[in-house]
Amino acid sequence: MERMESARDVLKAEPWLPTPLLPSAGAGPRLGIDLWLKREDCTPVGSFKLRGGLVAMALSDDDLTSGVYGASAGNYGLAVAEAGRRAGVTVTIVVPKGANPSKVQRILATGASVIEHGVDFDTAKDHARAVAADVGAAFWEDGVIEEMALGASTIGLELIESGMAWDWVLVPVGNGSLIKGIASAFRTHSPATKIIGLVSTGAPAMAAAIAGEAFDADDPTDTQADGLDVRVPIMPISREIGELVEAVWLVPEDLLIPAVRSLIDLEQVMVEPSAAITLAACVTHSEQLTGARVALILTGAHLRSSLLETVSSSPGLKL
């Protein structure tokens, strides 16, 4: 709890906090759910990750004189890069080949360096770790550095302090910092709230890891949700998450793009597939959620431009 308060102290002067918490105007009434949107897409970098990036730059005990290396599909890298720009710390981000071009450009715009390496996030991460060791820089692994989860815990605190009693909170799961932080806050202050992790069937390893089930780290992923595209879970973090959450739901990959379309049509919100998985989960588990007060964590706004035509031709979810 003390470290959560330290994280909040780091962020207390940020004018964009708290992020908006808005009632669902279209999807919630159609589903019969008291649905609320926690708009983490409304940050200076378009995702929740800036919270943790700023907290890490302020609270980390690492020697940052040789800079920070990280690996990212985009949002994490942009957050660390922006936090490094503010702190005067050199940042290098390794991204997989084919990473979202808009995210890469935003990282470069902060003054950080970008290295493209590997076919997926996990191979990029291995390369970032090796290069950081060679040059004597800090390596910050998303999901591992505690400050990222501490930053995410402030999302949970904002929901708790909204004055509303939450039955469910639906949280996309990438490397785990987001759900670990939010779940930790709720377990301290509102233990009756059910925290649900969401994983795409196109990248299911995190669901298995959190549930303590076997998975094959060599199985390739196939998902449009680059923020959830994890092939090799971080097992200590996965075990921690398993102790904190009610469940992890696997959401069909083919519902993600329709969910993006439905959020545009019904809520006038454009987010990336990693965020839209929350609305897709409301459809797949509507019977459990009917009549409940549910918060959806809309994690990021970086919809790949190459998906725009696909989204525009999608019929949306059947609500």
pLDDT tens digits, residue range 138-163? 999 988 999 999 999 999 999 999 99
Report percent pLDDT > 90 for the chain.
90
Sign of the alpha-carbon torsion through 208, 210, 213, 214: positive
Choose between 65 and 103: higher pLDDT: 65
pLDDT bin (cut points 50, 70, 90) of residue 173 is: very high
**Residue 300, beta-bridge partner list:** 47
The predicted structure's pLDDT at residue 74:
80
Q: What is the pTM of this model?
A: 0.94
The predicted structure's pLDDT at residue 122:
86
* CA proximity to 51, closest of 210, 185, 207: 185
CA distance 316 to 255: 8
**Residue 172, beta-bridge partner list:** 198
The predicted structure's pLDDT at residue 84:
97
Domain-wise residue ranges, the chain: 2-47+146-313, 61-139
pLDDT tops 80 at residue 1? no
pLDDT bin (cut points 50, 70, 90) of residue 278 is: very high
2-47+146-313 adopts what CATH topology?
Rossmann fold (3.40.50)
CA distance 233 to 141: 12
Residue 215: partners with Cβ closer than 8 Å, 6 or more residues away: 204, 205, 208, 209, 233
Q: Tens digit of pLDDT for each residue in 219-270?
A: 999 999 989 999 999 999 999 999 999 999 999 999 999 999 999 999 999 9
pLDDT tops 90 at residue 304? no
Query: CATH number of the domain at 61-139, out of 3.40.50.970, 3.30.70.260, 3.40.630.10, 3.40.50.1100?
Result: 3.40.50.1100
What is the identity of the amino acid at 172?
A: P
Q: Tens digit of pLDDT for each residue in 197-224?
A: 999 999 999 999 999 999 998 899 999 9
The predicted structure's pLDDT at residue 305:
87
pLDDT tops 80 at residue 193? yes
- Other beta carbons within 10 angstroms of residue 282's beta carbon come to 28
pLDDT bin (cut points 50, 70, 90) of residue 194 is: very high
The predicted structure's pLDDT at residue 241:
97
Crossing angle for the helix pair 235-244 and 177-189, to the nearest 10 degrees: 30
Q: Tens digit of pLDDT for each residue in 104-142?
A: 999 999 999 999 999 888 899 999 999 999 999 999 998
The predicted structure's pLDDT at residue 243:
96
The predicted structure's pLDDT at residue 264:
97
pLDDT bin (cut points 50, 70, 90) of residue 195 is: very high
The predicted structure's pLDDT at residue 101:
86
pLDDT bin (cut points 50, 70, 90) of residue 100 is: confident
> In this structure, are residues 174 and 221 in contact, taking their beta carbons and an 8 Å threshold?
no
